[in-house]
Structure 1
Amino acid sequence: MDGNPAAAKTVKRKKAAVNEVLSVAVERGYFAQNPLGGLRWTAPESVDAVDPDCVPTPAQVGRLLAAVGAQRGLGPHLRAFFGCMYYAGMRPAEVIHLQISQCRLPATGWGLLNLKGGVVTAGKEWTNDGMLMRSTL
């Protein structure tokens, strides 16, 4: 919208949506064939580099966690949730399934989290054989 090229994932997602609409139009008789069928197209390269300006500093995360934890209601739970994601590099599903019995937390310093029970699903585009992969931690 601002004139810059869209991200590779955005382009692929939007092309898939347009392709689906055109396929339905073919099924309903609006077109004899899908005009995108013979189109040769390559997606733009995706950039795997992380922009350091987009990653919060430890000080920023500390302020964020303090502010979240100060909220009434779920504040303390969300503080723990986001803290686990930042400091332990956990996925949301892993944090949700984390139980106190899996935590070895000393009074000071680093502790140990024994992750199990979370369900992790890898989309078919991330597997070698194109099959959906699901594992339980």
Structure 2
Amino acid sequence: MKDGKAASPSTVARKRAVFSGALKYAVELRLLEVHPLSVVSSVAPKHNDEIDRKAVVYPEQARALLAVVRASVPELEAFLGCMYYSALRPEEVFNLREEEFERPTATGGWGMLRLTGSTVAVGNGWGDADGTIERRGLKHWADSATRDVPAPPALVALLDHHLAEYKPSKDGRLFVTRRGPGGRFVPTLGRPIPSKTYGKARHGVTLVRPF
């Protein structure tokens, strides 16, 4: 790394995969006769699978974060709640529709999120379709695959409140941009929420960890 410290195993693996892919492409173009890494012996760094408690949000911190978001940008409370309570990726939350939210049969019970894909924001000309919104399959899954994710009672309550307060976009997505210049609340245009918007909301509170 630039600071002189050793890179993490995941960083080494990711950079090696990208570099190897570039060399493989060079072989396909006949710019190289053989793949250089195929004749180099190396040992991959060992991964530490133990969870770092300092890097994981704890319940009191998560609830405080959601409370701050509720007071400042309430339309993002359920969005961040999906990532905390059900560990959804941002692009999976972007794609979430009301019909994919299965409510519990009894009040206070667990619901289910039946994910059907992901929605990503892309630059003009970089996607497979026109515009800056592209729908894709679930990451590491087949394009037509679906994934069921349990929704705990706290998340069920957040989603019910969100649906009562905010109308979904024309294509049914629950979480889209709802603010214009200066933070003014405006009718949605159906665009995905910019990463800087939910990132700013997510980091809007600082708490001291209890350990």
State the 1:98 CA deviation: 5.2
Q: Which has the higher contact order (CA 8 A, sep 6+)?
A: 2
Q: Larger Cα Rg: Structure 1 or Structure 2?
A: 1
SS at match of 1:115: strand
Measure, in 1, the Cα distance between the counterparts of 2:102 and 2:4: 49
Query: What are the residue-to-residue correspondences of 1:79-98 with 2, within 5 Å?
Result: 79-87=77-85, 89-92=86-89, 93=92, 96-97=95-96
Residue of structure 2 equivalent to 1:126: none
Letter in 2 for 1:116: R
Measure, in 2, the Cα distance between the counterparts of 1:44 and 1:24: 25
Measure, in 1, the Cα distance between the counterparts of 2:139 and 2:28: 31
Unaligned ranges ≥5, structure 2 = 118-136, 148-211
For the structure 1 residues 84 and 34, does the alpha-carbon distance in structure 2 shift closer, same or farther, using more than 3 Å as the test?
closer
Q: What's the C-alpha RMSD, in Å, of the aligned pairs? A: 3.1
Residue of structure 2 equivalent to 1:18: 19
TM-score by length of 2: 0.46
1:36 aligns with 2:37: yes
SS at match of 2:23: helix
Unaligned ranges ≥5, structure 1 = 124-131
Length, aligned pairs only? 122
Runs ≥4 residues deviating over 6 A: none
Percent of pairs with identical residues: 32
1:112 aligned to 103, 110, 113, which one?
110
